[in-house]
């Protein structure tokens, strides 16, 4: 597949043959340019001392001053650390959880049980973050179910205020992500698993492979392309560690670990009426994402794996 791309030559005959595809592509590209690329003119703001009064086209240009301001701000450095930290943890944890859950669910023999568990596992995905954080706040409060259980089993002798300690914040966010998305993310793997050629399992059985060997040598390789494409997509999203959950769960005590780039942009950009700094941070994020995605894509290409483009 890869070699075809390189040797490709555009001939009139081919173009004519693909007329329909090209016309549709053009329509779609026009849409994309308007809705996805035209707003990028807003990136100008990062190089301006943007004043809402003057608008995008009449604000003074100030070069890279906003970027310098960003990177000299110790808060921003901390915010990058938090974003990367939570981004990587969330990526790894939700990714692994979904795959493990899909594989384990596949090992459940009863069809009814399988379907029931599957249906229930999706429920949390339909809850918005505001509701999920509400539930979390209730569950983790001093009279909440978690503290009640911990007290009952004498793991604690007095209620623990989870939201007061920075060390619990990242795990809470990771757990919330796992809780909300595992069932949902697993659906793609489950369908990939069932698409695996049954004869492979039979062959494995004839070779006397146990359950573990079947998972390892048949199931996992079978869903590898799916894993790869999702992994690639998510690598670029590492800096999108989230906004709502940290925003809704954060407070002054855990600020040092809870603020992500998006919150920083909102707090020090928009709330302070400084849209330029927010735009600069946004450009930085996009830049990092694209670099990561290109690297990951190249690696995938080199190893002959599924890739994004």
Partner 1 sequence: MKKKNVTVIVLTVAVLFIMGMTAGLIRGSSNKPIKEFTAFFDVQGEEINEDNEIRELIAQKIGARCIEQWLSGKSAEDAIASFIASGEYTDLISGSTMLYEAGALIPIDAYWDNYPNIKAFLPAEVWDRFRQPDGHIYWIPQFGIVHGKSAEVLHEGEAFWIQTRVLKWAGYPEIRTLDAYFDLLEAYVAANPMLEDQANIPFTILCDDWRDFCLENPPQFLDGYPNDGSCMVDVETQTVLDYNTTETARRYFQKLNEEYNKGIVDQEFYTQSYQEYLEKLASGRVLGMVDQWWQFSYAINNSLERLSDQGCGYVPLPITIDSSITNQWHVKRGTELSVADGIAITVSCEDIAGAMQFLNDILDEEIIKLRYWGIEGVDYEVSENGMYFRTPEQRGKSRDMEYKNAHFCIYSHLPRIEGMLSDGMNAFSPEYQEEEFLNGLVPDVRECLAAYGCRTYVEMLGTNDAPGAWFPMYSFSEMLTQESMAGRVWDRMKSIKSEYLPRVVMTEDFDAMWQQYMENYEACQPEIFFDAMQQELERRIKISE
Partner 2 sequence: MNKMKGTKIKTSAWDKVFVVCNTLFMVAFVVVTLYPVLNTLAISFNDGTDALRGGIYLWPRKWTLKNYITVLQKQNLITGAYITVARTVSGTLLALAANAILAFIVSRKNFLFKRELSLFWVITMYVNGGMIPTFLLYRGLHLTNSFWVYIIPGMFSAFNMLVIRTYMAGIPDSLEESAQLDGAGYTTIFLKIISPLCKPVYATVALFVAVGQWNSWFDAMLYNRMSSHLTTLQYELMKLLSSVTNQGTSAEAMKNAAGTVTPTSVRAAATILTMLPIICLYPFLQRYFVTGLTIGGVKE
Task: Tally Cβ neighbours within 10 Å of residue 20.
Answer: 8
Q: Which does 161 bind (CB under 5 to 8 A by kind): partner 1, partner 2, none?
A: partner 1
β-bridge mates for residue 107, sequence order: none
Nearer to partner 2, 36 or 74 (CB): 36
Per-residue DSSP letters for 112-176?
HHHHHHHHHHHGGGGS-HHHHHHHHHHHHSTTSHHHHHHHHTTS-SS---GGG-HHHHHHHHHHH
Nearer to partner 1, 205 or 272 (CB): 272
Residues sharing a CB contact under 8 Å with residue 162, sequence separation 6 or more, in sequence order = 140, 146, 168, 172
| Contact footprint for partner 1 (CB under 8 A) | 51-53, 137, 141-142, 159, 161, 163-164, 247-248, 251-253, 255-256, 266, 270-275
Nearer to partner 1, 111 or 273 (CB): 273
* Shortest distance in whole angstroms from residue 270 CB to partner 1: 4
Task: Tally Cβ neighbours within 10 Å of residue 173.
Answer: 26
* Shortest distance in whole angstroms from residue 256 CB to partner 2: 26
Nearer to partner 1, 81 or 224 (CB): 81
Which CA distances in Å does 32 have to 18, 27, 181, 233, 287? 21, 9, 29, 19, 19
Task: Point out which span in 58-66, 72-80, 83-91, 186-194 binds partner 2 (CB under 8 A).
Answer: 186-194
Residues sharing a CB contact under 8 Å with residue 136, sequence separation 6 or more, in sequence order = 172, 176, 249
Any contact of residue 12 with partner 2 (CB under 8 A)? no
Nearer to partner 1, 122 or 168 (CB): 168
Q: How far is Cα 231 from Cα 263, in angstroms, rounded to an integer?
A: 25
Q: Which does 105 bind (CB under 5 to 8 A by kind): partner 1, partner 2, none?
A: partner 2
* Shortest distance in whole angstroms from residue 202 CB to partner 2: 7
* Shortest distance in whole angstroms from residue 64 CB to partner 2: 18
Question: Which residues within the stretch 61-120 sit at the binding site for partner 2 (CB under 8 A)?
Answer: 101, 104-105, 107-109, 111, 113, 115-120
């Amino acid at each position: 597949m890869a070699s075809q791309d390189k040797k490709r030559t555009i001939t009139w005959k081919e173009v004519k043959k693909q007329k329909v595809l090209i016309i549709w592509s053009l329509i779609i590209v026009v849409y994309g340019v308007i809705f996805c690329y035209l707003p990028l003119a807003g990136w100008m703001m990062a190089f301006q001392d943007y004043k809402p009064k003057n608008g995008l086209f009449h604000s003074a240009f100030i070069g890279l001053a906003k970027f310098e301001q960003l990177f000299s701000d110790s808060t921003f450095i901390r915010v990058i650390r938090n974003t990367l930290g939570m981004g990587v943890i969330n990526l790894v944890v939700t990714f692994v959880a979904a795959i493990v859950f899909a594989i384990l669910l596949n090992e459940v023999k009863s069809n009814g049980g399988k379907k029931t568990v599957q249906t229930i596992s999706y429920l949390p995905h339909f809850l918005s973050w505001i509701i999920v954080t509400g539930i979390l706040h209730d569950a983790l409060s001093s009279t909440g179910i978690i503290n009640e259980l911990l007290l009952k089993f004498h793991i604690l002798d007095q209620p623990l205020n989870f939201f007061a300690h920075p060390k619990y914040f990242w795990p809470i966010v990771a757990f919330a992500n796992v809780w909300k998305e595992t069932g949902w993310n697993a659906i793609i793997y489950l369908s990939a698993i069932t698409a695996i050629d049954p004869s492979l399992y039979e062959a494995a059985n004839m070779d006397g492979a146990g359950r573990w060997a079947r998972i390892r040598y048949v199931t996992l390789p079978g869903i590898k392309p799916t894993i790869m494409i999702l992994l690639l997509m998510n690598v670029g999203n590492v800096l999108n560690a989230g906004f709502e959950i940290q925003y809704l769960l954060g407070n002054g005590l855990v600020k040092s670990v809870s603020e992500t780039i998006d919150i920083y942009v909102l707090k020090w950009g928009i709330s302070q009426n400084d849209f330029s700094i927010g735009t600069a941070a946004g450009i930085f994020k996009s830049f990092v994402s694209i670099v990561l995605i290109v690297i990951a894509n190249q690696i995938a290409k080199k190893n002959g794996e599924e890739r994004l483009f």
